[in-house]
Amino acid sequence: MRELTEPFSSRLGGTTGLAPYEGKVERHLSDLRGCFLNSDLVEQMLSEGKNPKIYEVYEIPQEPNTGLLSIGATVIYPGKIGDEYYFTKGHFHQKEPRAEIYIGIEGEGRILIQNRSGESTYFQIKPNVLVYIPPQSAHRSINTGSNRLVFLAIYPSDAGHDYKGIEDRGFAKIVVEKDGNPVIEDNPKYIKTS
């Protein structure tokens, strides 16, 4: 963790999306067990030793003190599980209200945003597009392209991650490929009331 008083500069783009960075997180298919619609296929792949890397996050975190801002560049690899594009696990913030801002760096995708009542919307993520994620909103990013999707996230460093709040119900929408194009559909496994 950095000193509160230390300014710094970092470059956007390149392999890691952010350079220099301080920490790295990798998520493989096994970390997203239960997230994809076709869970039978996921279990089959894992039993065959196929555990592809789905995404990485390169971070410059700050101490979790109110008023500080953490930074992370997420790299989602291209790929699908069945017809469903690779995505991030998705989370609410643990501390609320805490907003977040995404900025596309490379590639193209979607972000699903879903509030605690289950109302959801989505936006495109692509270079030079900024998306504002309001408090109390689970957010999941999806790589709908054939290359890497890279985006920057800026969020209050005390926000925290609440994965459970969305794991239990799932997202109301899924993003699947139909005739070569990304389509947003209702998630048949979505649990409307928790």
Residue ranges in contact with a second copy by CB under 8 A: 3-13, 18, 60, 62, 65-69, 71, 95-101, 103, 113, 115, 121, 123-124, 128-137, 152, 154-156, 159
Cβ atoms 23, 59 nearer than 8 A:
yes
- Retrieve residue 1's tokens: 């963790």
User: 81 vs 150, which CB is nearer to a second copy?
Assistant: 150
CB 123, min distance to a second copy, A: 4
User: 82 vs 97, which CB is nearer to a second copy?
Assistant: 97
Instruction: Classify residue 30 by its DSSP letter.
Output: G
CB 11, min distance to a second copy, A: 6
CB 179, min distance to a second copy, A: 26
User: 96 vs 177, which CB is nearer to a second copy?
Assistant: 96
CB 115, min distance to a second copy, A: 6
Beta carbons within 10 angstroms of residue 146's beta carbon: 9
Residue 86, phi then psi, degrees to nearest 5: -55, 145
User: 37 vs 139, which CB is nearer to a second copy?
Assistant: 139
Instruction: Report the candidate in 109, 90, 107 with the shortest Cα–Cα distance to residue 172.
Output: 90
CB 128, min distance to a second copy, A: 4
End-to-end CA distance of the chain: 37
User: Does an H or E element contain 47, and which?
Assistant: helix 39-47
User: 10 vs 16, which CB is nearer to a second copy?
Assistant: 10
Instruction: Classify residue 161 by its DSSP letter.
Output: -
